[in-house]
Copies of this chain bind each other. A is one copy, B any other.
Amino acid sequence: MRVPYETMKREFKRILMDRGFTEASAAQAARSFADNSCDGVYSHGVNRFPRVVQYIDKGYIKPDAKATKVGGFGALECWDGNLGLGCLIAEQGMDRAIGLAGQFGIGCVSIRNNNHWMRGGAYGWQAANAGCIGICWTNTQPNMPAWGARDRRIGNNPLIMAVPRREGHIVVDMAMSQYSYGKIEAYKLNNQPLPYPGGYDTNGELSVDPKEIEKTWRVLPVGLWKGSSLSIVLDLMAAALSGGNTTAAVGELGPDEYALSQTMIAIDPAKLHDSEAVDRMLDASIAYIKSSLPAAEGGSVYYPGERAKSIREDNLQHGIPVGDEVWRQIKSM
Binding site for B on A (CB under 8 A): 70-78, 103-108, 110, 133, 135, 145-151, 153-154, 159, 161-163, 170-172, 174, 178, 196, 200, 204, 218, 221-224, 226-227, 229-230, 232-237, 239-241, 243, 246-249, 265, 267-269, 271-273, 277-278, 281-282, 284-285, 288-289, 292-296, 299-304
Contact = CB atoms under 8 A, between A and B. Distances in A.
Contacts of A299: 148
A294 B149 contact: yes
Contacts of A269: 240-241
A295 B133 contact: no
A143 to B, nearest CB: 13
A268 B76 contact: yes
Given A170-B233, A247-B285, 20 more contacts: A77-B272, A106-B107, A135-B135, A145-B292, A146-B301, A148-B295, A148-B301, A149-B289, A149-B301, A150-B294, A150-B295, A151-B292, A170-B232, A171-B233, A172-B230, A172-B233, A239-B285, A240-B278, A241-B272, A246-B281
A282 B196 CA distance: 34
Specify how many copies of this chain sit in the oligomer.
2
B74 A236 contact: no
A161 B301 CA distance: 29
Given A222-B223, A232-B303, A108 B267 contact: yes
A246 B218 CA distance: 38
Given A151-B292, A248-B285, A277-B243, A272 B163 contact: no
B233 A293 contact: no
A74 B104 contact: yes
Contact of A233 (B76, B163, B204, B277): B163
B241 A292 contact: no
B75 A295 contact: no
A235 B303 CA distance: 12
Q: Among A108, A162, A246, find the residue whose CB has the most chain B CB atoms closer than 10 A.
A: A108
A106 B106 CA distance: 8
